Copies of this chain bind each other. A is one copy, B any other.
Amino acid sequence: MITGKQLIGFSKIGDTGAAFSTSENINGSGEAVSFYEANDVNVDEAIQKAIVAFETYSHTSASEKVSFLEKIAEEIVSLGSMLIDVTKQETSLPQPRLEGELQRTLNQIKLFVNLLKDGSWVNAIIDTAQPERVPLPKADIRQMQVPLGIVAVFGASNFPYAFSVAGGDTVSAFAAGCPVVCKAHPAHPATSELVGDCIIRAAQATGMPEGIFSLLQGAGYALSNNIVKHPGISAVAFTGSFQGGNALYEVASKREIPIPVYAEMGSINPVFVLPGMLTQKRESIATALAASNMLSAGQFCTNPGVITSIKSKEADEFTDTFSASVGAANSDVMLTEKIYTSYSSGVERLKKINELSMVKQGLDSGKANSAIPHVFETTGTFFEDHEELYEEIFGPASIHVKADNKDQVFSIAKKLPGQLTATVWATDEDIKEYAELFKILEKKVGRIILNGAPTGVEVTHAMVHGGPFPATTDSRSTSVGTNAIYRFTRALCFQNYPQTLLPQELQNGNKNKIWRRVNGSLTNETI
């Protein structure tokens, strides 16, 4: 039953003050539910409970954490179609997309469950004592990753499951041993409460401490800022706009105690279609990229927004094919009115630039807040000199850049700010000819894709969903894949500890046969 309240520890409270949103008939009973803005007291209470929970949760065994995570997945599954019905109502995202995203979210939980079961993720390093060493004896020194503290998670608008309440940020923090204080995205508060309830039920069922998770609802900046400012918070995870992420980063940078801020803020995800590929496969590439650009109304952080090729008949045909797809596409309803307004004004801004021609726009479905896809075109010379074109327009818009020559392609690539992804379509011949391009792009991105689409971020060990600023505020991190866990850990070193005092992962016995670096060599044996 959705209440509109805050989930603080194991209680539902905080339905006083201003409601920021009201959902009609969200419980199927015909009654409206109002969602209330969490206040300072709620923030402090949630964090204080998390601090107490951290005392025990930081020492919870891997198998207990596994039970907790598996129970969360089980609780989400048990909501059945009700969850998707509610989310569809809140986000306007289509059923297959939501079903896919929910499955992805469950897979993500499973990925961290397997990581915990395997156990080697703690990066145990052991250097045994050398009491006879001269001139000085060497002490026994061991280290492993330990949890950082309380993690503040900010849910994203565009992924109501996978990057929200029980998404990758929360689950990787739990796997690391960190309690989570989650701020629900105001675009889907009911979905957030339902999923939050699942986490609370799972925590209670598996004996986790109260305070391991709290969910705060709200739409105001003050709430977000108060969470980030709170001295009890040890790390921040955010997925959303540059404006939102950068604002939280700035609040955090004024804290007395510095903390890591992992804000994933999107990018234009440049695509380069090189001449050989343009000659051989321009039609299929154009169709694939147009689909990638318009998927879910273009509301992906990895949406390909700028496509560069060298001007030619083939490049024009590429744009024609791309534009034909766009022209035949209906406008899709966006996640929120605010996102729609932002998209529309972004498109209007582009339309006013004389040197940018609007090649095509899609069909208007007539639905409120629906984004009409747009294709723009400009020259390489104009593009590379106009920084504002390197800014993301969140939605189904793209700019096709026609460069004069290879050098201008390199020059455009060099001017790119940090990106989540870059994509190159290239034949073997193109790869040789444009070797320099790969070197340039590899310095700019978290992930580089050859002959594919940037959308579809695989949940797997080797994934990097991150990248140099302004794609994120910390290029050393990823918010997708197993390495996301290291955002919330630090190394702790134990010197001269007896076996009984050491964490199990560092004891000689190596009960779980985890991989450890012992005196410089990797081994999963006992010592």
A: which residues have CB within 8 A of B? 55, 58-59, 100, 114, 118, 120, 125-127, 135-136, 138-139, 141-143, 146, 148, 249, 253-254, 257-258, 260, 428, 431, 438-439, 442-443, 445-452, 456, 458, 460-464, 466, 468-470, 473-476, 478, 483, 486, 489-498, 500-501, 515, 517, 519-520, 522, 524
Q: Judge whether A450 and B492 touch: CB under 8 Å.
A: no
Q: Judge whether B141 and A463 touch: CB under 8 Å.
A: yes
Q: Judge whether B443 and A58 touch: CB under 8 Å.
A: yes
Q: Judge whether A522 and B520 touch: CB under 8 Å.
A: no
Q: Judge whether A475 and B490 touch: CB under 8 Å.
A: yes
Which of B138, B450, B478, B520 is in CB contact (< 8 Å) with A458? Answer: B138
Q: Judge whether B142 and A460 touch: CB under 8 Å.
A: no
Most buried by B among A55, A58, A100, A463: A463
Which of B125, B139, B458, B483 is in CB contact (< 8 Å) with A139? Answer: B458
CA distance A257 to B515 in the complex (A): 37
* Shortest Cβ distance from residue A104 to the other chain B in the assembled complex, whole angstroms: 11
Interchain residue pairs with CB less than 8 A apart (12): A58-B443, A126-B462, A139-B458, A141-B458, A141-B463, A142-B462, A148-B475, A258-B473, A431-B500, A431-B501, A450-B501, A462-B517
Most buried by B among A100, A136, A501: A501
Q: A141-B462, A148-B475 are known contacts. Are A442 and B492 too (CB-CB below 8 A)?
A: yes
Q: Judge whether B126 and A448 touch: CB under 8 Å.
A: no
Q: Judge whether A448 and B138 touch: CB under 8 Å.
A: no
Which of B141, B142, B253, B464 is in CB contact (< 8 Å) with A492? Answer: B464
Copies in the complex: 2
Can you name 19 extra interface pairs (CB under 8 A) apart from A141-B460, A450-B497? A120-B522, A138-B458, A139-B458, A141-B462, A142-B462, A148-B476, A257-B469, A257-B470, A258-B473, A260-B476, A431-B501, A442-B492, A446-B492, A449-B495, A452-B495, A452-B496, A476-B486, A478-B491, A515-B522
Q: Judge whether A464 and B493 touch: CB under 8 Å.
A: yes
* Shortest Cβ distance from residue A168 to the other chain B in the assembled complex, whole angstroms: 15
With a CB–CB cut-off of 8 A, which chain B residues contact A127? 458, 460-463
CA distance A454 to B524 in the complex (A): 30
With a CB–CB cut-off of 8 A, which chain B residues contact A493? 446-448, 462-464
Taking CB as reference atom, which chain B residue is nearest A246? B258
CA distance A233 to B283 in the complex (A): 42
CA distance A515 to B517 in the complex (A): 11
Taking CB as reference atom, which chain B residue is nearest A478? B491
CA distance A445 to B466 in the complex (A): 29
Q: Judge whether B139 and A495 touch: CB under 8 Å.
A: no
CA distance A493 to B470 in the complex (A): 18
Taking CB as reference atom, which chain B residue is nearest A450? B496
